[in-house]
Chains A and B, each alone.
Chain A
């Protein structure tokens, strides 16, 4: 591997540069576009040099869009808030349900344990619409349609399998001997779980939670079917926003930037755990 010639090093450099440009340019371009006025966006040829303006962000945040035809109301900040609310609460609930279950699957062999674990895993791979379309009819009947509660419950489909399988791996890696010792010292099962097992598995729990948050945030189809305008997260809201704002391209770009920044920032923060999370615990990074 060591005898790399000069031509090869140059080829490598060119390839890596091309790859980085392909994967990073779209994000950079949207970012730049979000600081341009509409006239600058429409200018041909496109230019990397322009006087940055915050007008797009200002109109998104104030919710008022000034156009030639008058003032237009924007609900985009509500979408952003919905995304924060839905993702945070879904992950919190999922941790509450998933961590004890993961512990049970890791520590006890009981009848049906593997069946439940694998059924949950298989949800990750089933077509979401298969369940969502009948569910939307049921939700209309029982009044859960277009409610945060209904959405958070359905979001468990994304978060729970992820948390269950990653955290289970972490619990299995911890030797149970420490827990035996603590139990023999006279502590209850619950104390052992809360004071020994959970703190030891904390990196895994944190990683699973962060990833589940990213996946909930990025989900599109659940809310498309189960939520109307005032409950929609950014993924669905941005689509409606494009239709509503027509040619206000600068605002669309700013909306996209605001929508992808949280997940990109979290991903950079949690990148150490991404490999493990993305492979549901099968590959360690």
Chain B
């Protein structure tokens, strides 16, 4: 953080950091303009197909949401999706990290291979699963039938659509949690565990009283990271079902997208996204505090 400025040319040097970060700053501004526009749109009655009705209505769009059952359905589905995906990914990710904790050639290899789903574009992953669950030839449809479950329609039935997209999300993002927790586990100091082993402390006690508390910063950071992404889900649900069948999977961004392009209701779409933004903004403030703590710690170790 110290300046390497030579005192002689102080004035010139003082300008330098601004010049260096100017392009980044410009990108910031370039993005803030459409953001401000979105705020403005969210207070308009604005339909692209009915331009003559355009008018400023303050918080009219937001007020309508209060009594709009479709809006509350979106909130419910988004929260369900977020809770189900982040919950299962945390649990599964922790289990895998614990299984692979010990450094060995096999474990390292496995942890690298497990990253492949995470590196697959979510939109393409959802196409892969769409093929696998195809009723005519999908291997998963076939396996489910072998197990005696007939007429399981995966993403095309309202009963199992949420399950199917959650499954794809778990497939793509569990490795993310796994890799962060694995790095966390492997960076823990060894002394407490050696001491516990010497004293013959039961392993369950070691896990709940030593491992878990020490791992908590990593778990919280990973969970917040995923929460922030999951509440904004689009890349899996849209290619898989376009939010259907019916309104079963109309999460925030999918609904806003359809509101904009299908119903050309710009005002309502913007208001919906502003509400989502408020949620993510609050979450990201909590997240950045945790993230900075972890970052300081990692740099302390380095």
Write the residues of chain A forming the contact surface with B, with a CB cutoff of 8 angstroms.
1-2, 12, 15-16, 19-20, 22-24, 26-27, 29-30, 33, 41-46, 96-98, 100-101, 103-110, 113, 116, 118-123, 125-135, 137-138, 153, 156-157, 160, 164, 169, 172-173, 176, 179-180, 183, 189, 192, 214, 217-221, 224, 234-236, 238-239, 242, 249, 252-253, 256, 259-260, 263-264, 266-268, 271, 274-275, 278-285
Contact = CB atoms under 8 A, between A and B. Distances in A.
A160 B23 CA distance: 10
A276 to B, nearest CB: 8
21 contacts: A97-B24, A100-B23, A108-B16, A125-B284, A126-B281, A127-B253, A130-B38, A133-B266, A134-B34, A164-B24, A176-B2, A220-B121, A220-B238, A260-B119, A264-B116, A266-B119, A275-B180, A275-B183, A282-B291, A283-B183, A283-B187
Contacts of B174: 23
B28 A119 contact: yes
Given A26-B125, A30-B128, A127-B277, 19 more contacts: A2-B197, A16-B99, A20-B110, A100-B20, A108-B16, A116-B25, A116-B28, A127-B273, A129-B257, A129-B273, A131-B34, A134-B41, A138-B34, A164-B24, A180-B4, A218-B123, A256-B128, A278-B118, A282-B291
Given A239-B127, A259-B121, A264-B120, A282 B294 contact: yes
Contacts of A23: 113-114, 116-117, 171, 174-175
Given A134-B38, A267-B116, A281 B273 contact: no
Contacts of A214: 119
B158 interface: no
B137 A176 contact: no
Contacts of B302: 173, 284
Contacts, number: 285
B91 interface: no
Nearest to B119: A267
B260 to A, nearest CB: 5
A43 B142 CA distance: 11
Given A27-B116, A30-B128, A285 B24 contact: no
B197 A122 contact: no
A127 B4 contact: no
Contacts of A267: 115-116, 118-119
Nearest to A45: B142
B81 interface: no
A22 B193 CA distance: 32
A279 B117 contact: no
At the interface, is chain A mostly helix, strand, loop or mixed?
Answer: helix
Contact of A104 (B21, B128, B277): B21
Interface string B10-25: 0001101110110111
A234 B124 CA distance: 9
A8 to B, nearest CB: 10
A284 B298 contact: yes
A129 B132 contact: no
Given A131-B34, A275-B183, A285-B183, A238 B123 contact: yes
A15 B137 CA distance: 28
Contacts of B130: 242
A281 B295 contact: yes
Nearest to A262: B119
Interface stretch (B49-57, B58-66, B228-236): B228-236
Interface in B142-162: 142
